[in-house]
Amino acid sequence: MNEFFNFRRWWLLALKRWFDNRGRYLLALLTVAGLMLAWYVVYLAANAGSYFEEEVQAVFFFTGLFIAGCIYASVLFNELGSKGKGIAFLTLPASQFEKLLCGVFYGVVVFTVVYTGIFYAINVPAVKISNEVRYQEWLERKALNPEDYKNEQFNPAKVTNVFKYREYRSDDDDDEFNIYFVVWLVYLAVHAFYALGSVYFGKFSFVKTSVTALVLGVIAFLYFLFIVKVFPSGGNLDYWIIELKDNGDPDFIFYYRIPWFIVSADWLLLKFLFPPLFWLIAYVRLKEKQI
């Protein structure tokens, strides 16, 4: 039998994880659904007569996804926070890769599917309720001023699709990109980082991982602040990074530009590197874990 990965063995491990934690999973599901429903009730009570923009719905979706997803990722390997449970977890007759893959399955695939289902189960009726309230108000205004609304059609709000292409273009930049795709990539990276924290820290992993992320964020901010001050390009990799001046000719300046393929590679790494990197580190740490 393959010691690294065996699908049947992994599937039995996944089933065991479900039966051992189904009560906690169902409680978490009900908590997420209850909080989301409560938020929508508050929002509709205050804004039912306003146009329910797709962007606002997307903000609701991604905000909840980040909060709930990161909390859940921080307890994916919470057994390691207890000596007894940790020993039982590490000595299970399955490879560490299969245990990590089980965490990826429940933390990324199952959670994302279930959370998205909960969101649309609440969001779709909320949009319909908002449209109905707006439509009734529109009919009342039309009855009072029929001439003003003679050629006007009611414009219902649409349900957002958080998986479709959503163009974003800044005011001072001609480049455009898919903003939803970028947010998904950031979420996967942050989620993987919190999953890594659950392997490293065990107890109170959410708090400890959040503090670690804050410290690393400050370091990254200071680093890029240094880049902006040092390089004449202002830290923009699309332009120049070295400026050489000829002391004999003050008007002569030589610039060196990073080749386009290096710039492209950098952006590809920034986009796609972090989630698999954090999961890889989690796997290495899981193999070395001792309790």
pLDDT in tens, 46-76: 888 888 999 999 999 999 999 999 999 998 8
pLDDT (average), residues 146-154: 77
Q: Is residue 25 part of a domain?
A: yes
The predicted structure's pLDDT at residue 278 = 92
Q: Is residue 248 part of a domain?
A: no
Q: Is residue 85 part of a domain?
A: yes
Q: Is residue 192 part of a domain?
A: yes
Give the CA dihedral 96, 98, 103, 106, nearest 10 degrees. -170
Q: What is the DSSP string of the chain?
A: --SS--HHHHHHHHHHHHHHHHHHHHHHHHHHHHHHHHHHHHHHHHHTTS---HHHHHHHHHHHHHHHHHHHHTTTTGGGGSHHHHHHHHTSSS-HHHHHHHHHIIIIIIHHHHHHHHHHHHHHHHHHHHHHHHHHHHHHHHHH-TTTTTT----PPPPP-TTS--EEE-TT---EEEHHHHHHHHHHHHHHHHHHHHHHH-TTHHHHHHHHHHHHHHHHHHHHHHHHHHSTTTT-TTSEEEEEEETTEEEEEEEEE--HHHHHHHHHHHHHTHHHHHHHHHHHHHHH---
Using CA atoms, how far residue 198 sits from 110, 178, 201, in Å, is: 18, 31, 6
The predicted structure's pLDDT at residue 170 = 58
Q: For residues 195 and 209, is the Cβ–Cβ distance under 8 A?
A: no
Q: Which pLDDT tens digit goes with each residue over 259-274?
A: 666 656 656 766 788 8
Q: Is residue 238 part of a domain?
A: no
Nearest to 79 by CA among 57, 60, 102: 102
Could you list the residue range(s) of the whole structural domain that residue 111 is in? 7-215+275-288
Query: What are the φ/ψ torsions at residue 17 (nearest 5 degrees)?
Result: -65, -40
Q: Is residue 112 part of a domain?
A: yes
**Angular region, 52: left φ>0, alpha ψ -120 to 50, beta rest:** beta
Cα atoms found within 13 Å of the Cα of residue 225, Cβ hemisphere only: 6
Instruction: Categorize the per-residue pLDDT at 142 as very low, low, confident or very high, splitting at 50, 70 and 90.
Output: confident
Q: Is residue 259 part of a domain?
A: no
Q: Is residue 158 part of a domain?
A: yes
Cα 202 from Cα 218, distance rounded (Å): 24
* Pairing between β-strand 249-257 and β-strand 240-246 as defined by DSSP bridges: antiparallel
Can you give the pTM of this predicted structure? 0.83
Which amino acid makes up residue 80? L
The predicted structure's pLDDT at residue 30 = 92
Which amino acid makes up residue 75? V
Q: Which residue has the higher pLDDT, 33 or 2?
A: 33
Number of domains in the chain: 1
